[in-house]
Structure 1
Amino acid sequence: MTHHLSKGGSVPIPDAAAAPVPLLVAFGRRREPAFAHWRIDPCALVVGTQETATAAGLLVHAGAPALPDGGIRYLRNGDEPESTGAARIGVDLAALDTAARVYLAATVVGADGRPGTFGDVLGAHVRLTAHDELARYELDQDASTETAMLFAEIYHRDRSWRFRALGQGFTTGLDGITDRYGGRTETARTR
C-alpha cells in the first residue's frame, strides 16, 4: 500500500524493507513534451546527530556515486532491476548508523547540462520503494525559482526507520543544501 504524504508527513519503513531488500528512492516528474529536455538529478546527503555531514564524502550524486560502505548509492539509468530510465538513490538501511539522517535532494538539469528550476518541470515527486511503492510525496507548491529541493529524509526513531516528506526548496542549488549541513559540492558541480 502506498502512503501519499503531504509536506511534513512521515511513515515508518516496514522491517522487511530494512533487511535483505534495499530501498530505492526514485525522483520523477510528469512527462510533458514541452518539458522533455529537463531531468531531475537526485543526490543524498548523510548527516550525523549534530545535523552536519560527518565527512566530506557523505554527499552521494552522479560524480560520487556511493558511500565508502555502500550504504547509499547513486544508480544510473538501468543500474537496478525494473529501471524506468531515471537515476535513483539506493539505500541499504542495515549499512547505516541509526544516528544518521539521509536527506534526499535533487536539482533540475537541462539536456544541455545547464541548471534549471523546479518551475521547469511539472509534477515533481519522490517515491520510496522496496519491491512495492511504500510512500510517495508530490511537490504541492510553486517552486518556480528553486534550483535544489530537499524532497524527503530517512531517519531512525523509536527503534524503527522512518521516511518524512520535506519539500524545502533552495534558490542556491546544492550549495545551499550542503552549506546548511556542512557537506561539499565540488564534484557535484562537474556533472
Structure 2
Amino acid sequence: MPINLSKGQKVDLTKGNASLKHIMVGLGWDVNAFDSGSDFDLDASAFMCGANGKCPTEKEFVFYGNLEHPSGAVKHQGDNLTGEGDGDDEQIFVDLKAIPESVDKIAFTVTIYEAQERRQNFGQVSNAYIRIVDEDTNQELIRYDLGEDFSIETAIVVGELYRHNGEWKFNAIGSGFQGGLAALCGHYGIQVA
C-alpha cells in the first residue's frame, strides 16, 4: 500500500528499507477539456544538487535533452509529447547506490514546453502526480497528487529526494514557478541560452 503524501510532507525511503536500491519516479498528468490550439507537451526533469542547492554542472540537469547523468545514477526514459493514455507520462529511473556523494538532493520538476507561445499553464492541467516505485519489487512506495492549486504557473517543483543522515527521504514540494524551464534552471544554478 503506497503512502499518499500531502504538500510539505516528508517520508523516509531507505530507513527501515535497506534493500531499496533502484527506484522509478513516475510523473503523470491529464489535460483539461480546454483547447489552446496546440498539444500540451509537459516535460519531467531532474536537478541533481549539491549542499548549496545548485547543480555543480549542466550534466547534473537530466531532461529530454540530456537523458542520463554520467554516473548512470539518473536516467530519463524520454519525452512524451502528448501525455495521452493512462499511467505515467514520463519516467525517471534512479539508482540510489550510484548517486555521487557530492549530490545531496534530486529535485523532480515538470514544465510546459513553449507554454508562453502556446498560451498554456498548469491551471489547464489536472490529475498531476508523482509516484515512487521500488523497481526491483514493482511496489509503489509513495504517491503525491498535486491537486489543482495552480493557475498561471508554467513550471512545478513536484518533489525532491534528499540525503539525511546517510538515508534517502522524499519531500512533497508542489511549488509553482512562472517562467517555465528557464526559471527552474536559474533557480538551480544552470545557465540557459
TM over 0.5: yes
Alignment of 1:40-79 (within 5 A): 40-76=42-78
The alpha-carbon deviation at position 97 of structure 1 amounts to 3.0
Q: CA deviation at 1:105?
A: 0.3
The residue that corresponds to 1:3 in the other structure is 3
Amino acid at match of 2:110: A
Q: Structure 2: how far apart are the matches of 1:96 and 1:64? A: 17
CA distance in 2, matches of 1:115, 1:69: 37
Aligned mates of 1:158, 1:117 — CA distance in 2? 38
**CA contact under 8 A between 1:25 and 1:129: conserved in structure 2?**
yes
1:38: how far off?
Answer: 2.6
Is the alpha carbon distance of 1:136 and 1:185 closer, same or farther for their aligned partners in structure 2, counting shifts above 3 Å? farther
- Look up the match of 1:189: none
Partner of 2:89, secondary structure, is: coil
Where does structure 2 lack aligned partners over 5 or more consecutive residues? 81-85
Aligned mate of 2:142, from 135, 142, 155: 135
Superposed CA deviations along residues 31-65 of structure 1, whole A, max 9, x for unmatched, are 76657943431000001011111112111011110
What percent identity do the matched residue pairs reach? 28
Q: Does 1:116 align with 2:120?
A: yes
2:30 touches 2:128 (CA, 8 Å); kept in 1?
yes
Residue 141 of structure 1: how far off its partner (Å): 4.4
Letter of the aligned partner of 2:75 in structure 1?
A: R
Aligned residues of 2:152 and 2:178 also touching (Cα < 8 A): yes
RMSD: 2.5
CA deviation after TM superposition for structure 1 residue 108, in Å: 2.5
3-state DSSP of counterpart to 1:123: strand
Q: In structure 2, the residue corresponding to 1:62 is in which secondary structure?
A: coil
With over 3 angstroms needed to count, the CA separation of the structure-2 counterparts of 1:31 and 1:140, relative to structure 1, is: closer
Q: Counterparts in 2 of 1:11-50, with a 5 A limit?
A: 11-13=11-13, 14-18=17-21, 22-30=22-30, 37-50=39-52
Q: Which runs of 5+ in 1 are unaligned?
A: 187-191
Cα 1:177–1:109 shift into 2, 3 Å: closer
Match of 1:89 among 89, 92, 97: 92
TM-aligned CA deviation for residue 160 of structure 1: 1.1
Displacement after TM superposition at 1:142 (Å): 2.2
In the alignment, residue 138 of structure 1 is paired with which amino acid? D
Check whether the contact 2:45–2:109 (CA below 8 A) recurs between aligned residues.
Answer: yes
- The SS at the match of 1:16 is coil
Would you say 1:158 and 2:161 are equivalent positions? no
- Hey, what does 1:126 align to over in structure 2? 130
Contact 1:118 1:124 (8 Å CA) reproduced: no
Runs of 4+ in 1 over 6 A off after TM superposition: none
Structure 1 residue 124: deviation in Å?
0.9
